Amino acid sequence: MAVKIRLQRHGKKNFAFFHIVVADSRAPRDGRFIEQLGSYNPNTNPATIILNSERALAWLKVGAEPTLTARRILSYEGVMLRHHLDGGVAKGALTQEAADKKWNDWKAQRDAKVEAKISGIKNAAIEARKAAKAEEAKVNEARAEALAKKAAELAAAKAAEAAAAEAPAEEAAEAPAEA
């Protein structure tokens, strides 16, 4: 029986998430499986991966073949590196302590990279909000200036109209005095 580590699709149309499962290669994609190892949600940024890496490593050791996407997920989580290092320990090329140190160094580096991405996304969102506020302030200032200009023009027009109304009244008042 050929055993595969693969993804099982769930979710609604255009918003899928996946279960990472161990299944017989002849079973349908969303059908029967042997064991569920975790889940993968590509809809979040960064993608959410929940994986029982100990069980995944155990299945790799007994010969389960991951599909291409499952291999990338396992590699991202460090399961493939752990499997590779355990092979080196079994052959005598490495000691268990050296393999553990290499894996822990890699894990720390990967965690720092993920944290940097998450903080970068948060900082970008904050900067976008600040830029939007600044743009909104500019628009509001331009509107206030336009309203002030319009009010000044209206006041000048009213003053001119009042002056024009007073001028004929003054001329009319001066005309009878001359006569």
DSSP strand pairing (3-12 vs 15-24): antiparallel
Residue 134 lies in a domain: yes
Task: Give the type of residue at 125.
Answer: A
Task: Provide the residue range defining the domain that includes 134.
Answer: 95-161
Domains: count for the chain = 2
Radius of gyration of the chain (CA): 37
Give the pLDDT score at 161. 84
Query: Of 25, 47, 66, which residue is a domain's last?
Result: 66
Reference 4, options 19, 25, 20, 34; nearest CA is 25
Ordered DSSP codes for 40-86: EETTSSSPEEEE-HHHHHHHHHTTPEEPHHHHHHHHHHTHHHHHHHH
At 125-172, the pLDDT tens digits run 899 999 999 999 999 999 999 999 998 888 888 888 888 877 776 666
CB atoms within 10 A of CB 73: 24
Residue 86 lies in a domain: no
Q: How far is CA 159 from the centre of its chain?
A: 58
pTM of the shown model: 0.68
